[in-house]
Structure 1
Amino acid sequence: MTPENEISIRPLFATPLLVFTVVDHRRINAELSRLILERETSQPSYSDDEVVGWSSPHDLSMLEWAADPLELLLGQVTQVATCMTELSERSSLHARQPEWRVAELWANVQRKGGSNACHPHPGSFWSGVYYIDVGDVSQGANGGELQLYDPRGCLPRMLAPYLRYSVPELHDAGASVSFTPSAGQCLLFPGWLFHAVTRYTGNAPRISIAFNLDPIIHKGS
């Protein structure tokens, strides 16, 4: 029996996850894969307690040894960030959109047993990851998925683990959402969103690039 009252349902506090496929990604991925795997064999991994696997330094040094393919990739990334961001009403420039630049980026190579512990990217409005080669990652097999955690924490599940809201958009309240990537896909999400990579059990290398973006705000004359 349904109530006679008309019910207006407004799911609140949405968290953006932007997913897009990079144009000309096959050519970009072939070049980046070659450069990153060469770097993996010649340079020690950046020290990061969160990561099981190899990664390059978390700075802008990758722009020096992978400049050409990164230029094609990052131009599209910053264009999407600009399109999807606006200045708020608190700004005197609220009619304008900020542009974006890459503040830091790094390459990741995960082989069998690799993972990335749960973490945010403090200080960044947009953070992201680009998938060059997902190795043997597939839906429900071999791990390596990106886990995105409800920023409200586990409270909804802790209070009533046997209940959930009847609105499908709220079924993930208090949980994590698993995303299975494809090569050529890029994801942008808020830097404060906790995320992780599940333990990868495939044999082929899983190769990605992570990055943070900083805004460039042009003031009017």
Structure 2
Amino acid sequence: MTAIHQHDDLADTIPTSPAVIAQTFATPVARIARPYAEIINGQLAELVLAKADTTGNQYTYKTETLSDLMQWDNPTVEALSAWVLQIAKQFVQTLGRQQRPDLPDFEVVVGSSWASIYRTGDQHEAHFHPNTALTAIYYVQAPDACELDLIDPRAHVDYYDPGITIAGEGSRVRLRCRPGELLLFPGWVKHAVPEFTGDGLRISISWNLGYKIT
């Protein structure tokens, strides 16, 4: 019994230091306003609606143009797409060189691009964009904020649920963007558009982006 008491006394005298807690495996998301958006958004909205009326796809959850935005031969669309590619490259360079100082020269290229139109009651369930390095979404028009849910990308976080959450397991992050804002995030991130409840139209343009090593 004496030995046990001595051991307990020794444990009480061991100095402790503060623990270091790191939230690892963060998911990068960029959000940036387009300069002079108020000048181009009206033109973009008219163009998107015209394309949707002639060659668009009418789904039960939204209306979508064909994935041929880069062939629209419109200077406003071309200027916007060039800006998106510029911002996307800066995004990748900033983060990529933190992981790999010898990051090779590259260009960001468009795989496909389209516009989406949401009316009252429309929504898009959680999905991701296969074979895509980066997803880019530009918000053109909405009566209020454009909501987008980002889904927890960590696999199997809901495998064991003891009722206690310490890392936001299975949570959604809801972003509320304004028309004229661009979002960039990895293509493997699941995202969803919650039910659109506003009056009028919610219009956005999306790009699936990849890398070309130069």
For the superposition of Structure 1 and Structure 2, which TM-score range results when normalised by the shorter chain? 0.7 to 0.9
Counterpart check, 1:34 vs 2:53: no
From 26, 38, 42, the counterpart of 1:14: 26
CA contact (8 A) 1:135 1:203 kept: yes
From 179, 182, 185, the counterpart of 2:178: 182
Aligned to 1:164: 165
Q: TM-score, normalised by structure 2?
A: 0.82
Q: Equivalent pairs: percent with the same residue?
A: 28
From 201, 206, 212, the counterpart of 2:202: 206
1:156, 1:45 → 2: CA distance? 35
Q: Secondary structure at the match of 2:57?
A: coil
From 59, 81, 84, the counterpart of 1:77: 84
Question: What is the aligned length?
Answer: 198
2:160, 2:41 → 1: CA distance? 42
Q: Secondary structure at the match of 2:21?
A: coil
Cα 1:67–1:101 change in 2 (3 A) is: farther
Structure 1's unaligned 5+ residue stretches are 138-143
User: What amino acid does structure 2 have at the position aligned with 1:71?
Assistant: E
Aligned to 2:65: 56
1:156, 1:70 → 2: CA distance? 41
User: What amino acid does structure 1 have at the position aligned with 2:35?
Assistant: V
Q: TM-score, normalised by structure 1?
A: 0.79
**Structure 1 residue 46 displacement after superposition:** 5.8
Aligned to 1:115: 123
CA contact (8 A) 2:56 2:66 kept: no
From 89, 96, 99, the counterpart of 2:104: 96
1:70, 1:104 → 2: CA distance? 14
1:102, 1:157 → 2: CA distance? 36
Q: Larger radius of gyration, structure 1 or 2?
A: 2
1:132, 1:44 → 2: CA distance? 17
The range that moved more, 115-124 or 65-74, is 65-74
Q: Secondary structure at the match of 1:100?
A: strand
Cα 1:111–1:158 change in 2 (3 A) is: farther
User: What amino acid does structure 2 have at the position aligned with 1:191?
Assistant: G
Counterpart check, 1:148 vs 2:150: yes
User: What amino acid does structure 1 have at the position aligned with 2:174?
Assistant: S
1:157, 1:174 → 2: CA distance? 10
Q: Secondary structure at the match of 1:187?
A: strand
**Structure 1 residue 146 displacement after superposition:** 0.5
CA contact (8 A) 1:124 1:212 kept: yes
**Structure 1 residue 77 displacement after superposition:** 1.3
Aligned to 1:140: none
CA contact (8 A) 1:145 1:197 kept: yes
Q: Which has the higher helix share?
A: 2
**Structure 1 residue 63 displacement after superposition:** 2.6
Q: Secondary structure at the match of 1:159?
A: coil
